[in-house]
Amino acid sequence: MQVGTGRSILNGIAIGKLKIYKKKDTVISAAEVADTAAEVARFEDARAKAIDQQTALYEKALAEAGEDIAEVFNIHAMMLDDDDFVDAIKEIINGQHKCAEYAVKTAGDNQAAVFAAMDDPYLQARSADVIDIAQAILDILQGVDNATLQGTEPSILVAEDLAPSETVRMDKSLLLGFITREGSSNSHTAILARSMNIPALIQCKVIQDDWDGKMAVVDGYNACVYVDPTPDLLKSLKKRQQEDQKKQALLQELKGKSNTTLDGKTINVFANIGGMSDVGAVQQNDADGVGLFRTEFVYLNCKDFPTEDYQFEAYKQVLESLAPRKVVVRTCDIGADKTVDYMKLDHEENPALGYRAIRICLTRKDFFKTQLRALLRASAYGNMSIMFPMITSLRELQDAKAVLDECRAELRAEGKKFDEKLEVGTMIETPAAVLIADELAEECDFFSIGTNDLTQYTCALDRQNAKLEPFFNPHHPAVLRAIKMTIDAGHRHGIWVGICGELGADTALTETFLRMGVDELSMNAKSVLPVRKIIRSIDLSKPSDK
């Protein structure tokens, strides 16, 4: 038996034969070509097919993993339309008289190197995206079909690394798990694996070619893989796998039941969504409502500024589908790691601390009003609450509410209906907001704590930087104290307080949050039932044993 260790992506067990996923080596000629016009035509044809391919991958990821994950393929399609990238390829073909394959490979490598050399971790990560789209064009040019690399029987795939496009293309009924030598736990592929409940091990350095066809077990709980496990070990891990499956079946029995502790305290357990495609998961997992509707995906899915009517229809569809459930909508949080070309945002040395979210909205008032008018109009068709992101001062909140009031007055004058009693709240995701929470609470109907950014800003750790993973502690005492301070401030002023960041799904903290007095937890839809199970086992009338 051989044991390999790495970094686990999901607490789970995968058992099956290993399948080495190795792409065919293809030779690219560096010889000069005579007919450069023909090579440009070949490239343009392949590029058009690659864009169609990314669109198909978007639809597939949307159905299997939701809006957040699928968005990477929209970004890939936009990158394939990038003038700098396209012009660089054509210049190599025409200027150096090279074939299309050579030009695509060279331009892709050059562009990837530019991103890799940047200081910003998010932009560094885009290096892998460039390589992925360049490879997509190359595969089309060379007639390479990677669909057969997975094999025809259920297996655990083993690879150097996997691009998001490769993971999405795979037949999930044949994918038991995967192991890669490289990779990051924050990569799109890792997030995809978690969302689809696929046990995976990354950064496993002992991968060998002779593993192909051998029986193995990926043990996500202990972050290791057992190749040719002993009969006793295999029996033990199969039992653990069966126990996991039974737990999943038991969770389904919690549907329709309340999120009430043993001593009678009930809280709301909501889901986070990116758009209409996530509504099914909210319903299937029996979430009480939506605690975070990330409206920036409406913008990311468009090639130009979405109109008021377009946004109205997008929001109305979600509201109608989930009524009477509450849907808490976050106004546009574009910026930092989420950008769109048509907004023409300047490159920033430190985008996490830069021009983003409410800062864009308050300095581009027409842009902001278009969204607020659409949201107000949609509020007539369901149970909507609106919250503003990245608030750091009382003035910002007051200014945002003033724009909202201006939109209300316009719609009344136009005779358009909306919910006059709509709740208005703010995200608490900066230390500044925590420290002035009492003042903010006087202007709000609720708080929603964004723990991802709150952790980042409190601990001075860029959450996009993979090198900082060893230093990242989501349970940092300072973060937990900030959460408690916010809950207390909200309750002093009679407003409800929720948590909508990653910590909302952290069952190790569920009891802690309930004892702090949190009123609502919002999370990825698949975590709703596991959190409900924990809530129903807690007795707040007794001292905590933690």
3-state helix, strand, coil in the chain (%, to 5): 50, 15, 35
Ranges of beta strands (E only) in 234-382 are 268-273, 289-294, 326-330
Please indicate whether residue 361 is annotated as part of the active site. no
DSSP per-residue codes, 432-468: HHHHTHHHHHTT-SEEEE-HHHHHHHHHT--TT-GGG
Q: Are 526 and 197 in contact (CB under 8 A)?
A: yes
71: closest CA among 84, 85, 61?
61
Among the options 99, 204, 407, 500, which is catalytic? 500
Q: How far apart are CA 365 and CA 214, in angstroms?
A: 61
How many residues would you count in the chain? Answer: 546
224 DSSP β-pair partners: 5, 219
Q: What are phi and psi of 53, to 5 degrees?
A: -65, -45
Q: Which residues contact 544 (CB under 8 A, 6 or more apart)?
A: 511, 512, 515
- Per the annotation, does 294 bind a ligand? yes
Q: Are strands 268-273 and 520-523 parallel, antiparallel or unpaired?
A: parallel
Please indicate whether residue 476 is annotated as part of the active site. no
Among the options 76, 99, 188, 407, which is catalytic? 188
Taking the mean position of all CA atoms in its chain, how far away is CA 100?
A: 34
Q: How far apart are CA 37 and CA 35, in angstroms?
A: 5
- Per the annotation, does 463 bind a ligand? yes
- Per the annotation, does 453 bind a ligand? yes
296: closest CA among 316, 317, 315?
315
> Per-residue b/e over 445-459, b at no fewer than 16 CB within 10 Å?
bbbbbbbebbbbbbb
- Per the annotation, does 268 bind a ligand? no
Binding-site annotation: residue ranges for Mg(2+): 429, 453
Active centre residues (catalytic):
188, 500
**What residues are designated binding site for phosphoenolpyruvate?**
294, 330, 452-453, 463
